[in-house]
Amino acid sequence: MAFTVMFYCAALFTLYGAAMVAFSKNIIYSAFSLLISFIGVVVIYALLDADFLAIAQLVLYVGGILVLILFAIMLTNKISNASSSNPSRSQFLSFVTVLVIFVGLFFTIIKAPWQVSAGTQELGPITDSIGDALLTKYLLPFEIVSVLLLVGLIGAVVIARKENIEKAGNTNLSATSEQGRSL
């Protein structure tokens, strides 16, 4: 009984954060509401004994993606206009879309032939077997993916730096031409 109450509280917490992301007119409030939603998902995974997914959600989404989003928002030049940066458009169409999806999911849940098992067995932490698999059987694909991500990161830095160098060069050229005109 206590598990069910905690699960539904975490689900409501997650839905509240997601609704605030969608309906907030301030992009900063939307980003912090995304944090609430992500934490709710972490709690749901922890309650379902999916410890690896809970920690991965926490590290990747809360620790990485959300921090990146917040830095991008904070480093934006026109942050003073943040209150009008997330305008709501076509609310009626959005409401109809959500209603259709909700009705479809509701009927899917009602009509699905759910099977209830007689008992559950204790699986224990799954992270041990995932760690062993990543360092034995799947070591080569794991390393290939890490090198691919590193190459993507270096490429992004090179492209961003190239744009900054070109911008600086254009700024210097325009400043030089303005100085030439004033003489």
Domain that holds residue 130: 125-183
Instruction: Please indicate, yes or no, if residue 11 is contained in any of the structural domains.
Output: yes
pLDDT number for residue 87: 62
Q: How many separate domains does the chain show?
A: 2
Instruction: Please indicate, yes or no, if residue 183 is contained in any of the structural domains.
Output: yes
pLDDT number for residue 181: 57
Q: Looking at the structure, do residues 132 and 72 belong to the same domain, yes or no?
A: no
Altogether, the residues listed in the chain come to a count of 183
Instruction: List, for residues 105-158, the tens digit of each pLDDT value.
Output: 999 999 998 887 666 566 666 777 888 888 899 999 989 988 998 888 888 778
Name the burial class of residue 130, with classes exposed (0-12), middle (13-18) and buried (19+) by CB atoms within 10 angstroms of its CB: middle
The gap from C-alpha 131 to its chain's centroid, in whole angstroms, comes to 24
The single-letter code of the amino acid at 144 is: I
